[in-house]
């Protein structure tokens, strides 16, 4: 009887100890650190797949320089901002405006047969569509803008750019891009009889831009 009671007490004590051991957190029992490493790897994997792009308002601001190409070659500094709606981690649709500081083209004193444009500050208004390709911390994106100038009797404005988005914090990110722009700008010209007249000409440029998303 005493042996049976003693055996029962020993079994109960062993079971209690085992239960207490199994109830301890897994990380305390993981002497090799594999559990901690798995948690850490999972955290960084999740962080890498997080772009911060959420449904709702989104805004961009960027600045850069456009190198003129083609027959009407004019370099310019640009500052632009866009605001709109982020439908999902990939699609943004909105609108914005810009300030373009354009250098002069031609020589107004060499007439006739001259096309000339003085230094101007031009203001385009545009619709903006951006497609973010991956829902990751670092991802390429495609950006298109199309609109119209509201200054100096200018015309169409359009641009397309390929960029890289780098997530920083919250919904914010840095953007860097290279693109191509087309602008219809007003020029002053003179005919064979040295009579002045105005007309729009298409200008092209390759742009480099750095921006921030908020």
- pLDDT of 117 reads 86
Given a contact cutoff of 8 angstroms between Cβ atoms, the answer to whether 96 and 80 are in contact is yes
Answer for the pair 149, 122: CB distance below 8 angstroms, yes or no.
yes
Identify the bridge partners of residue 73 per DSSP, sorted by sequence position.
none
56-213 has which fold? Porin (2.40.160)
Identify the CA nearest to 186 among candidates 214, 152, 139, 211: 152
Most confident of 42-46, 49-53, 176-180, 199-203: 176-180
Name the nearest CA neighbour of 89 among 165, 31, 189, 185. 165
Helix (H) or strand (E) holding 204: strand 196-213
In this predicted structure, what is the pLDDT of residue 179?
Answer: 98
Which pLDDT tens digit goes with each residue over 46-79?
A: 445 578 898 999 999 999 999 999 888 889 999 9
CA nearest neighbour of 57 among 172, 175, 159: 172
Angle ∠(59,65,71) on CA atoms, nearest 5: 125
Nearest to 211, CA basis, from 82, 102, 41:
82
Residue 132 Cα to chain centre, angstroms: 8
pLDDT tens figures, 115-157:
788 889 999 999 999 999 999 999 999 999 999 999 999 999 9
- The ranges of the chain annotated as CATH 2.40.160 are 56-213
pLDDT at residue number 30 = 58
Which whole number is the average pLDDT over 79-103? 97
**113 pLDDT higher than 90:** no
Average pLDDT over all residues of the chain = 82
């Amino acid at each position: 009887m005493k042996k049976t009671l003693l055996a029962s007490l020993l079994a109960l004590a062993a079971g209690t100890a085992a239960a207490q051991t199994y109830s301890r957190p897994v990380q305390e029992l993981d002497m090799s650190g594999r559990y901690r490493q798995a948690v850490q790897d999972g955290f960084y994997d999740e962080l890498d797949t997080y772009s911060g792009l959420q449904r709702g308002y989104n805004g961009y601001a960027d600045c850069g320089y456009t190198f003129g190409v083609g027959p009407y070659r004019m370099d310019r500094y640009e500052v632009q901002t866009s605001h709109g709606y982020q439908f999902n981690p990939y699609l943004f649709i909105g609108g914005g405006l810009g300030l373009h500081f354009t250098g002069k083209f031609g020589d107004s004193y060499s007439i006739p047969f001259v096309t000339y444009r003085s230094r101007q500050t031009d203001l385009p208004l545009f619709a903006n569509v951006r497609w973010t390709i991956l829902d990751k911390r670092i991802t390429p994106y495609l950006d298109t803008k199309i609109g119209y100038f509201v200054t100096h009797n200018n015309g169409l404005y359009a641009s397309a750019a390929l960029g890289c988005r780098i997530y920083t914090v919250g919904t914010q990110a840095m953007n860097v891009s290279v693109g191509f722009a087309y602008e219809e700008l007003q020029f002053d010209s003179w005919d064979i009889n040295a009579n002045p007249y105005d007309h729009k000409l298409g200008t092209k440029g390759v742009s480099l831009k750095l921006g921030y998303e908020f």
